[in-house]
Structure formats: C-alpha cells, structure tokens
Structure 1
C-alpha cells in the first residue's frame, strides 16, 4: 500500500470517527448557543462569537476538503492500478496468443 493510499484511508477513518463528529457538533452548537444568548447590546461579544462560529465552520469545511483530496487521490491510484492490470493482461494474452 502506498503512503497516499494509507493517508487516504486514515483521513476517511478520521472523518467518520464518532468522536470527531461529536466534537464538531458540540463546538458548533456551543457557538450557536453563545451567539443566540447574547443580548443585542453586547455587540462586540456577539461579533466575536459569530466570527468564532464562522471560523469553526470554515475549519471543518477545509478539513473535509483535505480528506476529500486524499479520497480522490486514492481513487485515482486505484484507477491507475486497474489500467496497469488490464495492460499487463493484454500483454500476457498477446504473448500467449
């Protein structure tokens, strides 16, 4: 198994890990609760909480994109391996044919 394949599988396990999913929900929910609970008069605190919420959401989107990149790389490697296997099979038939 190549390092890229290993990293793709590892990334997928991370994304599907229940602990990570729970942490993501907890962070986003806590920040949403903070935003909604602050009075309108506390503008600076509200803006800071909204910025943290947007930052957390952006972090998780980027994290997913990185993992999707590894997943795509794994698919490309698998496709390349299948093409090579077909090529070798054709060469073998031509030699034996």
Structure 2
C-alpha cells in the first residue's frame, strides 16, 4: 500500500466518521452564525470571524485533497496498466503476423 493510498484511506475514514462530520458542521455553522450576527461596525471582530471560517474550510478541504490525490494516482496507475496491456497486445500481434 502506497503512502498516498494509506493517507487517503485514513482521510476517508475521518471524513465518514459521524463525530467528525458533526464537529465539522458545528464549527462551520458557529463561525457562519458569528459572521452574520456581527454588526458592520465591529469590523475587526467580523474580519477575524471570516478569517477563522476560511481557515476552517481550508482545514477540512485538506482531507478532501488527500482523497482526490489518491484517486488521481489510482487513475494514473490504471491508465498506465491499460497502456502496457495495449502495448503487449500490439507486440503479440506483430509476433504472430
């Protein structure tokens, strides 16, 4: 098992864990509520809350990127295997011709 595959499986397990999903939703919702509830006059607090929301979204996106990276690696490996199989089939036909 490659390191990317291992990390992707770990990330997938975390993302599918109900407790993690609940925590993710609570964090994002709390930050969104904070941003929306602050008056425009409280610019610094509002900017800080927006920054925290963006940071939280990026944090959770990292897990998805690990999974996407593995999917891409797996697709590239499948493509390479198909190319090798085609190459071998062509060589076999040429030997039999």
TM-score (norm 2): 0.66
RMSD: 3.1
Q: Deviations over 1:58-95 (max 9, x none)?
A: 33334433432222121111100111122223333444
User: Which residue of structure 2 lines up, in the alignment, with residue 6 of structure 1?
Assistant: 5
Task: Return the alpha-carbon distance in structure 2 between the equivalents of residues 12 and 85 of structure 1.
Answer: 32
Whole-Å separation in 2 of the counterparts to 1:77 and 1:27: 37
Task: Give 1:8 deviation, angstroms.
Answer: 7.4
Mapping for residues 1-97 of structure 1, pairs under 5 Å: 3=2, 6-7=5-6, 10=9, 13-14=12-13, 17-19=16-18, 20-97=20-97
Tell me by how many angstroms 1:52 deviates: 0.2
How many residue pairs get matched?
96
User: 1:34/1:75 Cα in 2 relative to 1: closer, same or farther (>3 Å)?
Assistant: same
Can you give the 5+ residue segments of structure 2 that lack an aligned partner in the other structure? none
